[in-house]
Amino acid sequence: MSRLLYASGGKPRILLRIVRHRKHGITIEFRCRVRLRTDYRMVRKRTLHQLQFPVACHLLYSGVIFSDPPVMSYRDALNIEDLRRMAKKRLPRVAYDFLAGGVEDDVSLANNRAAFERIRLRPHTLVDVSGRSQQVGVFGKTFNAPFGIAPTGAAGLYGFAADIALARAARDAGIPFVLSTASFEPLEKVAREAAGGTLWFQLYMSKDREAARALVTRAFDAGYEALVVTTDLPVQPNREYNQRNGFTIPFKLNLSNMVDGALHPRWLASVFLRTLLDSGVPRFQNLDTNVGGRIIAKPMNEFRARREALNWEDFRWLREQWPRKLFLKGVLRADDALTAAQHGADGIFISNHGGRALDGALAPLEALPEIRAAAGDRLALMVDSGFRRGTDIVKALALGADMVFVGRAPLYGITAGGEAGARHAIGILHAEVDRVLALLGCPSVRELGADYLWHPDKQGVET
Ligand SMILES: Cc1cc2nc3c(=O)[nH]c(=O)nc-3n(C[C@H](O)[C@H](O)[C@H](O)COP(=O)(O)O)c2cc1C
């Protein structure tokens, strides 16, 4: 990693270059004019100088230069990638890797993005787009944008009471919010604090039906309108960065992540210590006390272990327990989508967990046309994984999705600027969708379809 510092004014002139290298420490290169004596005369020449510092200087350097840039505000972010970069600077490595990382070799993570690039948009011209609308209707409800906020566990690592902040930001934007089972806030509190919003609850179902029933009953009593049961993590995925960073459950606080935390004082004070002072060691508040709790508690593993035995019978059982809308999250095949419909699902989330589950799994965007063709109107199709731009959202809608969900994008926002940062992230995506519709010559997201798409291989994309 290197950082360039420029002279101000006029054409930028490189004065100083700082190269950080994990193994070799820091090299500072700088150019300056020196007087050189040659055989014939004295000349002034710009030469390159290098200073080498040991590895220990990494820490100091990270603290002083790389943490919490004082001038960059979330308001300066023009797009989601800008917010990601800010988040990277604000967060200790352990937290950033968990947020941005995928799994194993990040093949799925990269392909999720590449899938968008393989599809092009085919704009119409001379269409009156002055009255654009991006409102969508799902199950009789109208949302102000065709995207919602996907469930993200441990969101409280990225902002104080982040689950509540996200839920409020979604409510005020008129879009749905899905609360994770693994939130640091109790589901009842989120429902109270974001009353009036569209709240869905994501369930990590335990094979232990009593534990599952207890959680489902809580979600029902708190008024959650839909249940989203995630089934694409029957076992813990191989996120090697978590092991390297000591980010395991139970969480082990080691010297290196203590130092890293200390070097990110803004995050330490405004998120970590504030949470600690407010409610003690973060807890997975929705988990039964027998099977989970504090992030440093061991029984979490037992809760997870029982997930690998889940099957369609459990899903059918869940359908009987939950009278409201039911989604299955983590579907990537048309046959599974149809089985979900047969077992009473109202909709599915076509998702590869943001490239965080099975590495090499196909991108949801690749699975979407086949699933829409098979499912017809029997299922509401939500899709997530890799959405960063308005163009991404428009492409998925044109391929047949009812709505798109975003996981990391609002978390980058919350890291960069708290609740206001999350609102900013939503605003960016909303503005981008609006602009894309205009440029595409499509007055409403409801009119999007294969006609607006072009695929280099297929010379057109079928839904
Ligand atoms: C930090 C983080 C935590 C997540 N936690 C959960 C979770 O608790 N339950 C779940 O179903 N999905 C979880 N996901 C996956 C998201 O719901 C969603 O599928 C994914 O983030 C979408 O990809 P995107 O982040 O590229 O938008 C998590 C994702 C991230 C990044």
**CATH number of the domain within which 406 lies:** 3.20.20.70
Tell me, yes or no, whether 272 and 148 share the same domain: yes
CA of 41 to the centre of ligand 1 (A): 67
Choice between 46 and 226, residue whose per-residue pLDDT is larger: 226
* Pair (163, 305) in one structural domain: yes
pLDDT for 292 equals 47
Residue 86 Cα to chain centre, angstroms: 14
Statement to judge: residues 12 and 101 lie in one domain:
no
Residue 42, domain extent: 2-66
What is the CA(398)–ligand 1 centre distance, in A? 23
Q: Can you give the pLDDT at residue 11?
A: 39
One domain, residues 201 and 264:
yes
Whether residue 353 lies in the annotated active site: yes
Residue minimizing CA distance to atom 15 of ligand 1 = 353
Residue 356's pLDDT band, with cuts at 50, 70 and 90, is very high
Query: Residue 3 above 70 pLDDT?
Result: no
Give the residue, by CA position, lying nearest to ligand 1 atom 8. Answer: 153
List the catalytic residue out of 21, 124, 353, 424.
353
303: buried, middle or exposed (CB in 10 Å: 19+, 13-18, 0-12)? buried
Residue 6 pLDDT: 35
Residue to mutate, 231, 295, 356, 412, ligand 1, most ligand atoms under 8 Å from C-beta: 356
Residue minimizing CA distance to atom 30 of ligand 1 = 152
* Closest C-alpha to ligand 1, atom 6: 152
Q: Is the pLDDT of residue 27 over 80?
A: no
| Final residue in a domain of this structure, among 66, 84, 112 | 66
> Which pLDDT tens digit goes with each residue over 75-132?
999 999 999 999 999 999 999 999 999 999 999 999 999 999 999 999 999 999 999 9
- Residues 159 and 251 both lie in one domain: yes
The answer to whether residue 71 is domain-embedded is no
Q: List, for residues 143-162, the tens digit of each pLDDT value.
A: 999 999 999 999 999 999 99
Q: What is the pLDDT of residue 280?
A: 86
pLDDT at 346: 98
Which residue matches tokens 């798109």?
404
Inside any domain, residue 58: yes
Q: Which of 48, 66, 84 is the last residue of a domain?
A: 66
Asked if 328 and 283 count as a contact pair (C-beta separation under 8 A), the reply is no
**Higher per-residue confidence, 385 vs 17:** 385
Ligand 1 atom closest to 100 (CA): 31
What is the position in ligand 1's atom list of the atom closest to the CA of 150? Answer: 17
For residue 237, which of 135, 351, 348, 353 has the smallest C-alpha distance? 353
- Which residue's CA is the closest to the ligand 1 atom numbered 21? 407
What are the residues facing 405 on neighbouring strands?
148, 384
* Residue 312 and residue 180 share a domain: yes
Q: Say if residue 45 is in the same domain as residue 106.
A: no
Cis peptide leading into residue 123 (ω within 30°): no
Least confident of 15-19, 60-64, 285-289: 60-64
**Based on the structure, what is the number of domains in the chain?**
2
Identify whether residues 55 and 109 lie together within a single domain: no
The larger pLDDT score, comparing residue 262 to residue 25, is at: 262
Helical residues (DSSP H) of 324-383, grouped into ranges: 334-342, 364-375
Residue 128 lies in a domain: yes
Q: What is the mean pLDDT of residues 138-142?
A: 96
The amino acid at 72: M
> pLDDT tens digit string along 377-398?
999 999 999 999 999 999 999 9
| pLDDT tens, residue by residue, 174-220 | 999 999 999 999 999 999 999 999 999 999 998 889 989 999 999 99
**Residue 411 located in a structural domain:** yes
Q: Who lines ligand 1 at CB under 6 A?
A: 98-99, 150-153, 180, 182, 202, 230, 329, 351, 353-354, 356, 384-387, 406-409
Q: Flag whether 88 is in a domain.
A: no
Distance of CA 153 from the midpoint of ligand 1 (Å): 7
Residue 41 scores a pLDDT above 90: no
